[in-house]
Amino acid sequence: MKYCSECGSEVSFTIPEGDNRERHVCNECGIIHYINPRIIAGTLPTYDGKVLLCRRAIEPRKGYWTLPAGFMENGETSAQAAARETIEEAEARVNIHGLYTVFNLPHISQVYLFYRAEVIDGQYGVGVESLETQLFEEHEIPWQELAFPTIQRTLKHYFEDRKSDVYPVRSEDLVPPYRKP
């Protein structure tokens, strides 16, 4: 950040008085610009025992499979963001069953939230950010073609938890090379 979004003056990266970490501070008006982690919300959509995945049509990881997810927008809850992203990427409306996985990726300042969800009436399609969508049985999951570690971990937890039909909320901090610290 070079310029203040309030007054247009230059900013400095310094520790403001009363704070303990460097922030972008306007040299003219003194406003502190906080830059916080981004929240990515998505679903683990299922239907008839299968998981709905999307093949990405955009970077990063174009051509790889993912769960429908994306950046949360202002004015929506994380569950609303997850449902919206599922419509946008997989043209699927879902019933949300609850928060399932939370992944903190501090090295890239992101937090991922995945909700378990059921595809309504099994209807889905291909959204503008997807090349294709498909329902997969566990043994059909393209494990080597998954886009992100958060997707792989969510799916592994799901298939393990499905055996007991108990789905606790799982929270993990992931750091490269994407193992729990």
Instruction: Name which residue leads in pLDDT, 163 or 180.
Output: 163
The span from the CA of 27 to the CA of 43, in Å, is 43
The answer to whether residues 122 and 135 belong to one domain is: yes
For the chain, how many structural domains are there in total? 2
CATH (domain of 157):
3.90.79.10
| Chain-centre distance for alpha carbon 147 | 12
Residue with the two structure tokens 């997969």: 136
User: pLDDT tens digits, residue range 55-104?
Assistant: 999 999 999 999 999 999 999 999 999 999 999 999 999 999 999 999 99
User: pLDDT tens digits, residue range 121-133?
Assistant: 999 999 999 999 9
The answer to whether residues 84 and 20 belong to one domain is: no
**Residue (of 79, 76, 138, 69) closest to 110 by Cα position:** 69
CATH (domain of 28):
2.20.70.10
Continuous segment of H or E residues that includes residue 114 = strand 110-119
The answer to whether residues 98 and 14 belong to one domain is: no
Residue 179 counted as domain residue: no
User: pLDDT tens digits, residue range 2-58?
Assistant: 999 999 999 999 999 999 999 999 999 999 999 999 999 999 999 999 999 999 999
The answer to whether residues 43 and 25 belong to one domain is: no
Tokens representing 180?
């729990």
The model's pTM: 0.90
Segment 138-159 mean pLDDT: 98
Domain that holds residue 22: 1-35
